[in-house]
Amino acid sequence: MNEQVPAVALRSADSALIDEVRAVVALAEIPLMIHPPGADPPAAALLLDSIAEVQSEDPAWVSPTRRAAWVGRTGAGDFGADHALQLPEAGEGLLTLARSACQRRTARVIGVVGARGGVGASALAGALARAGAHAQLGVALVDLDRTGPGLDLMLGLEHDGGLRWADLDGRGTLPAQALADALPVWQGVHVLSCDWRGEAAGGIAPAAVDALASGHDLVVLDLPRAEPAWAGYCDSVLIVTTCAAIGAEAVRTTATAWTGAQQHLVVRGPARGGVTPEEIAAASGVPLVLAMRPERGMAAGAERGLTPGDNRRGALRRGAGTLIQKLDLAS
């Protein structure tokens, strides 16, 4: 991610709205910068745009690639108010958003997303986190892909104690160390995963990622393909595909959606029709960072309780170690 100023920026000329936002941000002791309607977005940690004042020709502030939100005043009759934080009622939510966005990040945040289903993105995310811990990094692994079975099952943590997403209620700011200490640990990695109870309360996921990024060296996100807004939280996104002609188009589609972070391509082979990883990279426009063989017996091993990276000579473990070096994560 680009370097951000630890401040909140508000685009508005509405004195009443400015006073409402200032009162909330002051509680967090975070600087507030006021910009007039029509202004370009600044490099602030959190951007707030007045939903009642924005014009169609104005530069966009609220977008999937930025930490941003619409704001309005309760009872003002703002068009589109359902999509805005209505103050003063939403003051607690705005306070949490501001505090989490302005936390000092110490971690590199690496997202892993599959260009399509069944390419092993979650397994690679787990192996990468494990390799980071092996390199003596403080690592957190976050399960954001609610469409899969959950990292709890893949990592064999379903019977272990510790917090899951459903235990986070979305109130207040998450203390980084307290959150990490409450999570289950797998191979030296703090894991925040879904379980049978489902996902977290609405709005808490970004704050949790921010908290973990402020207390670790590396945070690995297992990403859902349908939520490209998470690219804005990542320093780099690894797009994973298989070595097949259909993979190039899937990667290109994914890369177009997942803007806002540096992109790298991981291709799992071998090719059945003669397509090479280099050809997939050229066709998709995403630079190739790793070409790896499939992990033999991974599916069968999972049935026996093996987790990503357990096979010391396996392609998954070797590939994850290569990524630590090529992405310069251990420096």
User: pLDDT digit string (tens) for 162-176?
Assistant: 999 888 865 545 667
For residue 80, the model assigns a pLDDT of 53
In the chain, DSSP finds a helix count (H) and a strand count (E) of 10, 13
pLDDT tier at 7 (50, 70, 90 boundaries)?
very high
pLDDT tier at 199 (50, 70, 90 boundaries)?
confident
pLDDT tier at 253 (50, 70, 90 boundaries)?
very high
Question: How far apart, in whole angstroms, are the C-alpha atoms of residue 183 and residue 187?
Answer: 13
Residues in the chain, overall count: 331
Q: CA distances (Å), 54 to each of 11, 61, 91, in order?
A: 9, 10, 21
- At the topology level, CATH places domain 5-101 in Rossmann fold (3.40.50)
pLDDT tier at 30 (50, 70, 90 boundaries)?
very high
For residue 173, the model assigns a pLDDT of 54
The distance of Cα 171 from the centroid of its chain, to the nearest Å, equals 20
Question: How far apart, in whole angstroms, are the C-alpha atoms of residue 328 and residue 315?
Answer: 20
Question: How far apart, in whole angstroms, are the C-alpha atoms of residue 287 and residue 263?
Answer: 7
pLDDT tier at 297 (50, 70, 90 boundaries)?
low
Q: Where are the domains of the chain?
A: 5-101, 108-326
Number of neighbouring beta carbons within 10 Å of residue 161: 8
pLDDT(18) > 70: yes
Across the chain, the runs of DSSP E, i.e. the strands, are 5-11, 32-35, 44-50, 68-73, 84-87, 108-114, 139-143, 185-186, 189-192, 218-222, 236-242, 262-268, 288-292
What is the percentage of the chain residues whose pLDDT exceeds 90?
55
Question: How far apart, in whole angstroms, are the C-alpha atoms of residue 313 and residue 203?
Answer: 41
For residue 170, the model assigns a pLDDT of 55
Supply 327's token pair.
């992405």
pLDDT tens per residue across span 61-99: 987 667 888 999 987 655 555 678 899 998 988 888 888
pLDDT(302) > 70: no
For residue 130, the model assigns a pLDDT of 97
For residue 49, the model assigns a pLDDT of 96
pLDDT tier at 146 (50, 70, 90 boundaries)?
confident
Mean pLDDT across 214-221: 94
The three-state secondary structure class of 151 is helix
Superfamily of domain covering 108-326: P-loop containing nucleotide triphosphate hydrolases (3.40.50.300)
For residue 27, the model assigns a pLDDT of 93
For residue 205, the model assigns a pLDDT of 83
Question: How far apart, in whole angstroms, are the C-alpha atoms of residue 238 and residue 292?
Answer: 14
pLDDT tens per residue across span 117-140: 888 899 999 999 999 999 999 999
For residue 172, the model assigns a pLDDT of 47
- Three-state SS for 233-289 is HCCEEEEEEECCHHHHHHHHHHHHHCCCCEEEEEEECCCCCCCCHHHHHHHHCCCEE
Place of tokens 């705005």: 94
Q: CB neighbours of 170 closer than 8 A, spacing ≥ 6?
A: 96, 200, 201, 202, 203, 204, 207
For residue 15, the model assigns a pLDDT of 96
Biggest alpha carbon distance in the chain? Answer: 64
Is the Cα dihedral 247, 309, 134, 100 positive or negative? Answer: positive
pLDDT(295) > 80: no
For residue 84, the model assigns a pLDDT of 86
For residue 137, the model assigns a pLDDT of 97
Q: Are strands 189-192 and 185-186 parallel, antiparallel or unpaired?
A: antiparallel
102 vs 223, higher pLDDT: 223
Question: How far apart, in whole angstroms, are the C-alpha atoms of residue 119 and residue 267?
Answer: 9
Number of neighbouring beta carbons within 10 Å of residue 322: 16
DSSP code, position 314? S
